[in-house]
Amino acid sequence: MVLRIKVDEEKCTGCGICKEECPKGAKIWNVDKKAMATNLRYCHLCTICASKCPEGAILIERDAENETEKQDNEEDLGN
């Protein structure tokens, strides 16, 4: 499974709510002036971080590459 957690640096205020609300917050989130997700192997894919972010700065993508490959294959087949 491909997982990406993207943080929009323009929206992120560095409040740290993502880290506080995440069940694995200290293992996944680094918050200095902006939030950054690391060590995604600990992520449970619960999406709490994204839902609690007051700025809407967090986007979680699951299977992003696989979905792109699927779309490419459908286009090649003329679907």
47-57 per-residue burial string, b: 16 or more CB within 10 A, e: under 16: ebbbeebeeeb
- Domains, in order of start, for the chain: 3-76 (3.30.70.20)
In the prediction, which pLDDT does 19 show? 97
Given the structure tokens 């999406």, which residue do they identify?
A: 47
> Distance between CA atoms of 61 and 41, rounded to whole angstroms?
14
- Contacts of residue 23, Cβ cutoff 8 Å, sequence gap at least 6: 44, 46, 48
CB 57 within 8 A of CB 65: no
In the prediction, which pLDDT does 67 show? 45
Q: For the segment 33-75, what is each residue's pLDDT rounded down to a tens digit?
A: 999 999 989 998 899 999 999 999 999 987 755 444 544 445 5
In the prediction, which pLDDT does 6 show? 94
Q: For the segment 4-41, what is each residue's pLDDT rounded down to a tens digit?
A: 899 999 999 999 999 999 999 999 999 999 999 999 89
Residue 56: DSSP 8-state: -
